[in-house]
Structure 1
Amino acid sequence: MCTLSWQYQADGLHLLFNRDEQLTRPIALMPEVVTDNGVTAIMPIDPQGSGTWLAVNERGQVWCLLNDYAAATSTIAVSAISRGLLVKQLAHCRNRQQQDALLQQDKLQGYAPFNLLLFTNLQEPEQWYWDGQQLKQYFAVRSPVSSSGRWPKLIPALRRWYWRIKVSDSTTAEQLLHLQRTAKPLNSFMGIAMQRATTQTVSTSYLHLHRHGVTFKYWDGHPREQGKQANSETALSWSQPCESSYSGFQPLLLPAVLAKTLPQVAAKLPRWQMRCVQHCLAERRLNSALQQLSLLPDQHFCDGALQYLGITPQVIACRWPAAQSRPVFICNHPTGGLDGLLLIALLQKRYPDLQVIANNVLLAVAPLAPFLVPVPVFAKSATAIPLLVEAFASEQPLLIFPAGRTGRLNAQQQVDDGVWARLAVSLSRRSQRALTLLHIDSRNSRLFYALAALRKWLRIDVNLEMLLLSREMLNPAIKQPKIFVDIPMHQIELEALADTDWQRAQRLKQRGMQLPAIYKEQQDAAGYTSCGRSTR
């Protein structure tokens, strides 16, 4: 029974955690600096299980564990392993590959249900939800996250509602701490700082993560008993500084964008037609959203955009390529600009120097510019080739959408983004890069596909439905898209796919469309997702 809340401010991340426990449980040990496996971390220790519920390490990671009582009521197996030991192991892992190996369904069978959140380098958290049988991963999670042994769905929902109406952009760190200690909403039975006959909030932790490190303050006991001065205060420096950059608000104005990217079209377009296109593209709503999101660092822009749109994506993956392997990620393109937001938000947590090969028009969105390798799509293809060759020759992880267009419905009513270009495969082979296939399981609205079908029936060549893509992004048809991650494909496997790079690209596209079925079949057959390559 715990409540975790956080807010990003100009001076970094402010994270607060109330630990709620039975009164008969031994008092936890104060946070201390512990070095294990070559990684230094700060964590309080539960003497009963020898684990912890909160740990921050020198790599800029914060691990937070909350028990899940809603799932526990329907889970038959009783945990024999302390969930807190898992947090200790994760905090002392040297890299994400070691952590991924621990967070596999077959490795969690001995644990009772939990919610596990990871904050990396001052970014929005990733979340793993284990119900005792199945592991699910999400990102773009909003604050706060809470659990309760009584009324396990109602009370956390009330706490979330109360916290969100009380917190704004102007809320200070002191006010956040005060809110974490309040008995509201309603009373102490369901309060953020709770107190019941046999259980209560037994400690409050406050972490301030900034560019150079973290300060960990810890108050023992129920908030009513806590003094103003923390019982313990510990500091830790990052092994590498966490940099943040702010682009600020730069309005997105269609006439200026067209004048820069398509000057001939901009010169010929009458003013009334320009205004019609601006209206179709929902320019005002886009700028309103950009203005609100500009308060965040550039590194938070994509996460913030997903939260603004109310999207909570789920990730289905069992193995990720190492950052040192110069990975190339290729993905389908089902919904348009939203696909880029989803994948940048997901990948930059693991690969901070990620570069996205994308339309140079997107440079108009200033917070996205640091992540882009801008390709002049409307220019001659020969102009783009040197840029792509240089990007693939670099050491940075790359993301590319080989289709280069948004998906439409095919004859089988599947979202199909057309023929994939062979360039990503050719350049991956030439530069000796491993290639990882991603698949986004999502779609646009019925209106988008109806307009596309009508245009095709009327034999109109101009893609009129593309004018709806801004509105599709602002009003997503799917609020919980799924992102499937295939295991990395090395050169020998890529060569064996087909005889030519064009054929290889189409085989990859076909496998991507099959990934949801492949993962489901493997999970149904084995009880957990296999990392083996399917024979499909």
Structure 2
Amino acid sequence: MLIDIENIIHKRTNRRLPKWLIRVAEKAIHQTEINQIISSGEHLTPAQFIKHALKELNIKYKILESAKIPLDDRYIFVANHPFGGADGLMITDALLGRFSDVGTIVNDMLMHIEPLKPLWIPINKYGNQHSLHSQTYHAALDSQSKQILTFPAGFCSRITKGEVADTEWHNRFIKDAKRYHRKIVPVYVDGTLSRRFYNIYRVRRALGIRLNVELLLLADELFRQRGRCFRIVFGSPLDADLIEGNSPTEKCRTVREIAYSLKTTMPN
């Protein structure tokens, strides 16, 4: 099934937008280009489709491991979120190169990309969590074979005090790691989006606009990454009970600091 933004908006809001606005939205999300990628790879498995999408987007990555990750354990991989799209594709692809069963926690809007649905664990970031989503989420965490990837910030990185970094991470992965007896692996992805994206964010904040308008630019930002090669570092597995901190929030901050410290292991 191809992407139809008009139908998606109607189903989620029960409203019909003017045709001119739909055309603007279609162009903003690169609907034609995305549908071409979907059409040309619809016969592929999810793992093959990710490689196909990265190839079509001409996005490459290089893995720099700072520690060995045993294949016989269960993990929650937690990463910074600089891109809001490309990072998820790259890390998921890297994990599929080592593990046969991988699930990535994503905004449920991405469930409209049919070839990748088997890899996604959907959550609703802009409303009440659907009971079916909740069941899928907990079943994935409870799985004895599935490795989990999540972006604890929930949103892609923003610019604060002159630096691009994630907003505060949510501590749910700490609680999940304890509940489902999983190790935590911090991951760092090197990169930024365009100045335009961060400038719009700053203007929105300055004007007191709460609506996340820059979200509409993420598809275009994905296509702007064409021709680039990104570096990714995987840290050492951590036992949630041994992470520094007296509460899930404090432990979460410690893991975030560890993830960002992995940048220092990258060669200049």
Q: TM-score, normalised by structure 2?
A: 0.90
2:39 to 267, 291, 295: 291
Structure 1 pair 277–462 and aligned structure 2 pair: CA distance change class (3 A) = same
CA distance in 2, matches of 1:459, 1:268: 27
Task: Give the C-alpha shift of residue 319 in structure 1.
Answer: 2.9
Residue in 1 aligned with 2:225?
476
Q: Report the CA distance between 1:488 and its aligned residue.
A: 0.5
Residue 83 of structure 2 is aligned with which of 310, 321, 335?
Answer: 335
Alignment partner, residue 501 of structure 1: 248
Displacement, 1:507? 1.8
Matching of residue 373 in structure 1 with residue 121 in structure 2: yes
Q: Identify unmatched segments of 5+ residues in structure 1.
A: 1-249, 525-536
Amino acid in the other structure paired with 2:158: R
Give me the whole-angstrom Cα distance separating, in 2, the residues matched to 1:380 and 1:282. 28
SS at match of 2:15: helix
CA contact (8 A) 1:357 1:372 kept: yes
One of 185, 194, 208 as aligned partner of 1:459: 208
The alpha carbon displacement at 1:449 in A equals 1.2
* CA offset digits 1:403-454 (Å, max 9, x no partner): 111111110x322221111111101012211110111111111111121122
Quote the offset at 1:387 in angstroms: 4.0
C-alpha separation in 2, matches of 1:502 and 1:269: 41
Q: Give 3-state SS (helix, strand or coil) of 2:90's partner.
A: helix
Q: Following TM superposition, by how much is the alpha carbon of 1:353 offset from its aligned partner in structure 2, in angstroms?
A: 0.8
**Is the 2:177–2:184 Cα contact (8 Å) retained in structure 1?**
yes
The answer to whether structure 1 residue 439 and structure 2 residue 188 are counterparts is yes
1:356, distance to aligned residue in structure 2 (A): 1.3
* Structure 2 residue 150 is the aligned partner of structure 1 residue 415: no
Find the aligned partners of 1:493 and 1:313 in 2 and give their Cα distance.
Answer: 31
Q: Which amino acid aligns with 1:430?
A: R
- Structure with the larger helix share: 2
Matched residues, number: 266
Determine the C-alpha separation between the residues in 2 that align with 1:492 and 1:506.
14
Return the structure number with greater strand share: 1
The one-letter code matched in structure 1 to 2:257 is Q
Question: What CA distance in whole angstroms lies between the structure 2 residues aligned with 1:477 and 1:410?
Answer: 26
Report the alpha carbon displacement of residue 386 of structure 1 after superposing the two structures with TM: 4.6
Report if the CA contact (8 A) 1:445-1:477 is conserved. no
**1:266–1:472: structure 2 CA closer, same or farther, 3 Å change rule?**
farther
Instruction: Describe how 1:127-276 pairs up with structure 2 within 5 A.
Output: 250-260=1-11, 262=12, 265-267=13-15, 269-276=17-24
For the Cα contact (< 8 Å) 1:330–1:436, is it kept in 2?
yes
Larger radius of gyration: 1
Structure 1 contact 316–482 (Cα < 8 Å) conserved: yes
Could you give the per-residue CA deviations for residues 194-214 of structure 1, whole angstroms, max 9, x where no partner exists? xxxxxxxxxxxxxxxxxxxxx
Match of 2:54 in 1: 306
Shift of 1:274: 2.6
In structure 2, what is the equivalent of residue 400 of structure 1? 150
Note if contact 2:57-2:226 (Cα within 8 Å) is conserved in structure 1. no
In structure 1, the residue matched to 2:94 is 346
**Distance of 2:207 and 2:228 partners within structure 1:** 32
TM-score normalized by structure 1?
Answer: 0.47
Asked if the contact 2:122/2:137 (under 8 Å) is kept, the reply is no
1:243 aligned partner: none
Matches of 2:78 and 2:91, distance apart in 1: 10
Shift of 1:348: 0.5
Deviation at 1:268, TM superposition (A): 5.4
Q: Give the superposition deviation at 1:281.
A: 1.5
Please state how far the C-alpha of 1:324 moved relative to its aligned partner.
2.7
Q: What residue in structure 2 maps to residue 219 of structure 1?
A: none
Checking the alignment, whether the CA contact within 8 Å between 1:259 and 1:266 is kept in structure 2 is yes
Calculate percent identity across the aligned residue pairs: 23
Counterpart AA for 1:442: G
Q: Is the 8 A contact 2:58 2:226 kept in 1?
A: no
Distance 1:298 1:389, change over 3 A: closer
Query: 2:262 aligns to what?
Result: 515
Q: Is the 8 A contact 2:10 2:16 kept in 1?
A: no
Offset from partner CA, 1:350-399 (integer Å, 9 cap, x none):
11111112122211111111111222333324845554333222211111
Alpha-carbon offset, residue 483 of structure 1: 0.5
Report the CA distance shift for 1:481/1:387 in structure 2 as closer, same or farther (over 3 A). same
Counterparts of 1:388 and 1:291, CA distance in 2: 28
Q: Contact 1:332–1:438 (CA<8 Å) still a contact in 2? A: yes
Task: Provide the aligned C-alpha RMSD in A.
Answer: 2.2
Cα distance, 1:485 vs. partner?
0.5
2:178–2:241 Cα contact (<8 Å) kept: no
Offset from partner CA, 1:94-137 (integer Å, 9 cap, x none): xxxxxxxxxxxxxxxxxxxxxxxxxxxxxxxxxxxxxxxxxxxx
2:147 maps to a residue whose letter is P
Match of 1:317 among 60, 65, 69: 65
**AA aligned opposite 1:399:** L
Quick one: distance in 1 between partners of 2:229 and 2:29? 24
Q: CA deviation at 1:259?
A: 3.6
Letter of the structure 2 residue corresponding to residue 503 of structure 1: E
- Name the SS of the counterpart of 1:437 in structure 2: strand
Alignment gaps of 5+ in structure 2: none
Task: Return the letter of the residue paired with 1:397.
Answer: Q
- Secondary structure in 1 aligned to 2:188? strand
